[in-house]
Amino acid sequence: MRLKNLKLENFRNYETAEISFSDGINILIGDNTMGKTNILEAIYVLSLTKSPRAGYDTDLIRLDTSKAIVTGEVLHDDVIKQYEVEIDKFGKKVYINKFQIKKISEYISNFCVTSFLPNDIEIIKGSPSIRRNTLNIQIGTIYNNYLKNMNEYNSLLKMRNEYLKRLNINALSDTKYLDIINEKMLEVSVKIYYFRFYYLNLINAKIEGIFKKLSGISGLQVIYQNNLGITEYDEEKIKKVLLNKWKNNFNKELMQGMTLFGLHRDDLVFLVNGHDARIYASQGQQKLIVIAYKIAELLIFKELKKEYPVLLLDDVFSEIDIKRRNNIIKYLKSDMQVIITTTDIEDIDINLVNSARIYKIKNGIIKLNKGGVRNGRRKGTR
C-alpha cells in the first residue's frame, strides 16, 4: 500500500496544499506550529475518516472557511485509487474514485495506516475508552466485519440503555423486549470477543520480543480485562456468564439506566514483569511500550494482509536516546512507506535521511527539499 500523493483544501492551517510521497522514507521538517502534524492528521483522516486527536470533525476545517477536503491517491495491488474525505458543518462524505461510499465502515480498511503520534502515550496513561478505541481501529482496519459488528453492538447498547431507563421511569414489569435485545447483544458480543481475544493473542506473541529489542527489558504483557472475568475465548461460556451478569445485576442496571456488563467496558493493562506500566514505567519506557505495541500492530497487519500499512511517525525520535532510536529504526523495512515528522533533522538517523524524500514546511507551505538538509550544520542553527 502506497500513498502516492495528498491534496488538502482548507484543512487546519492549509488553504491548499499538494504533496507527493516517495514509496520509502519521507521526512517532513519544520519548526513548531508550522503544520507537520496536520499533514499526518490529514493522512490519518483519509484512512479512518476521523482525527486521531480528540475533538470534533469540524475542528479540521480551516478557520473562517466552511469545508475541508482531503484527497489522496493510493497504489494497492497495482491499481491506483483516489480516496477523498469532505467535512463541513453538516457532516462528512467519503468517496473512492469519486464514487460516494454511504457507509463509513465500508470506506475504512481500504487505505490503511499505522501511526505513532505524541498523544498515543495516552494508550498507557489515559482512560479505558482510549485503549478500546485503539483496539477497535487496529482490528477494524484488518477485518471490515469487525466494524460492522461494533456498529451493531453500539446501536443495541443504546437501545438497551434507553429501554432500561424507560422500564425504570414507568415501573414496567414486562421485560420481553429486553430479552430480545439481550439475545441480539449476546450474538454480536461473542463475535467481537472472538476478534479481541484473537488479536490480543497475536499482540502478546510479539510485543514482549519487540519491547526487549527496543529497551533491553523483558516481561512486557498486555492483559485483556473484561468484566466477565473470562481469560480465553469460549462462545458458550461468554454467553452464559454475560447473561448471568445481566440477570444478577438487573436492579442495579435498572437504577442506573445503564448496561454495566459487556465489552463496552473492556480494558487493556500493560504489565512489565507483573507491574502496571501506568504506575511503574518511566516516561521513556511508556513511550517505548506504545511504540512496541504499534510495531506489533504493523507486523500483524503484514502477516495477515501480506503488505504493510503506511506508517506515520510524528516526532517519534525526540526524548529517546540514540541507542533506542537505532533499535526502532531496525524495524523500518525497505518495503515500508514511512512518513516521519521532525523539528530537527539531527534527531533522525543519517542513513534514513540519505534515503529519504525530504520536505520543509513553513506556515502551511510545503517545499520539496533539494538536498543539503544536514550539510554539517549543527543542531539549533536553522
| CA atoms within 13 Å, Cβ hemisphere of 49 | 24
Which is nearer to Mg ion, 42 or 272 (by Cβ)?
42
Instruction: Determine which residue in the list 5, 9, 13, 234 makes contact with ligand ATP, applying CB under 6 A.
Output: 13
Q: What are phi and psi of 348, to 5 degrees?
A: -110, 135
26 binds Mg ion (CB under 5 A): no
Nearest approach in angstroms of CB 68 to ligand ATP is 8
Which is nearer to Mg ion, 37 or 259 (by Cβ)?
37
309 binds ligand ATP (CB under 6 A): no
Q: Does the CA dihedral 138-151-74-90 come out positive or negative?
A: negative
Q: Residues binding Mg ion: what is the number (CB under 5 A)?
A: 1
Tell me the helix, strand and coil percentages in the chain, rounded to 5. Answer: 45, 25, 30
Q: What is the DSSP string of 207-247?
A: HHHHHHHHHS---EEEEEE-TT---S--HHHHHHHHHHHHH
Q: Does the CA dihedral 136-244-186-156 come out positive or negative?
A: negative
- For residue 348, what is its C-alpha cell? 533522525
Letters for 35-74 (x = contact with Mg ion by CB under 5 A, - = none) are: --x-------------------------------------
30 binds ligand ATP (CB under 6 A): yes
Instruction: Determine which residue in the list 2, 7, 36, 360 makes contact with ligand ATP, applying CB under 6 A.
Output: 36
342 binds Mg ion (CB under 5 A): no
The answer to whether the beta carbons of residues 309 and 301 sit under 8 Å apart is yes
Q: What is the C-alpha separation between 230 and 261, in angstroms, rounded?
A: 12
245 binds ligand ATP (CB under 6 A): no
- For residue 114, what is its C-alpha cell? 499505522
The partner in contact with residue 279, picked from ligand ATP, Mg ion, none with C-beta cut-offs of 5 to 8 angstroms by kind, is none
Which is nearer to Mg ion, 222 or 358 (by Cβ)?
358
Which residues between 218 and 247 bind Mg ion (CB under 5 A)?
none
The answer to whether the beta carbons of residues 225 and 263 sit under 8 Å apart is no
94 binds ligand ATP (CB under 6 A): no
Instruction: Determine which residue in the list 26, 38, 109, 182 makes contact with ligand ATP, applying CB under 6 A.
Output: 38
Question: Taking every pair of C-alpha atoms in the chain, what is the biggest distance, in angstroms?
Answer: 79
37 binds ligand ATP (CB under 6 A): yes
343 binds ligand ATP (CB under 6 A): yes
32 binds ligand ATP (CB under 6 A): yes
Three-class SS state of 52:
coil
The partner in contact with residue 15, picked from ligand ATP, Mg ion, none with C-beta cut-offs of 5 to 8 angstroms by kind, is none
Q: Contact positions toward ligand ATP, by CB under 6 A?
A: 12-13, 30, 32-38, 59, 61-63, 343
